[in-house]
Amino acid sequence: MALPYQTPFVDGFWNREWRVNGVWNDTLREVARAAGGQWQISPEAYPNPGDTQGLMADLLVQQIVPDPLLAGRSNLSVPIVLYEGKGRPAIGGADWVAVREQLELWCYRQHANNPDPIWVIGVIGNGIKFWMYSSRSIQYDHPVNPTNSCLVPFEWNLAGGAPAWNWNALGNTADTGASYGYARAEIALMLQFIFAHPLAAGMAPPAAGLAW
């Protein structure tokens, strides 16, 4: 599939956070539509009812599924993709570590209500990083320590047409994942993969003997 914005924007376009988030709102909506099923994209999403003041993510993609306990009388919204975007900063502005920590803290706070893995997208201007958040055995127990992180960088092997997990046994790769530009061919492929594997369904972990 093609992303909704194929013509590159001038560099200055990516300096404004509201423009960046507008691009990604449209992009996630188009990928969700192509994936089929029912999806909801919610702005300013917070992990718990008490986190409404300072821990909101720009966008949260949820899958709408039947509630198994209510037999067709109600649905559940299941968090699938968490997104946070920033405008391209001036010197001293937002950096990847800060974005990663903000996203990871959101996942950590939300984990009590939802222990399932969740895809994570961080954006600064035209740069994009992808992760998978998991609290299972492949990870550790501190929410915002780069050498003890619950976020595994998700990359793409373009030649092989398959995911490439930037992971090692020390759990210290959270801030070393690749940053992709919006126009890169990998972006559409990675987004298609994400929507085809909600909650890591049917997806092999990054190493033998591990689990999502």
Of 37, 35, 38, 41, the closest CA to residue 1 belongs to 35
Tell me, rounded to whole angstroms, the distance of Cα 182 from its chain centroid: 15
How far apart, in whole angstroms, are the C-alpha atoms of residue 53 and residue 175? 26
Question: What is the model's pLDDT at position 141?
Answer: 45
pLDDT of residue 149: 77
The whole-model pTM stands at 0.89
102 touches 133 (CB < 8 A): no
CA distance 57 to 209: 32
Residue-level pLDDT at 194: 95
Residue with tokens 């956070």: 17
Cα dihedral sign, 98-103-106-111: negative
Q: Give the pLDDT of residue 42.
A: 93
Residues of the chain with pLDDT under 50: 137-144, 146
Q: For residues 105 and 143, is the Cβ–Cβ distance under 8 A?
A: yes
The 10s digit of each residue's pLDDT in 92-117 is: 556 898 899 899 888 888 876 677 88
For 71, the token pair is 């037999």
How far is the C-alpha of 83 from the C-alpha of 93, rounded, in Å?
A: 19
Q: Any idea where the domains of the chain sit in the sequence?
A: 13-43+57-200
Which tokens go with 53?
A: 């003041």
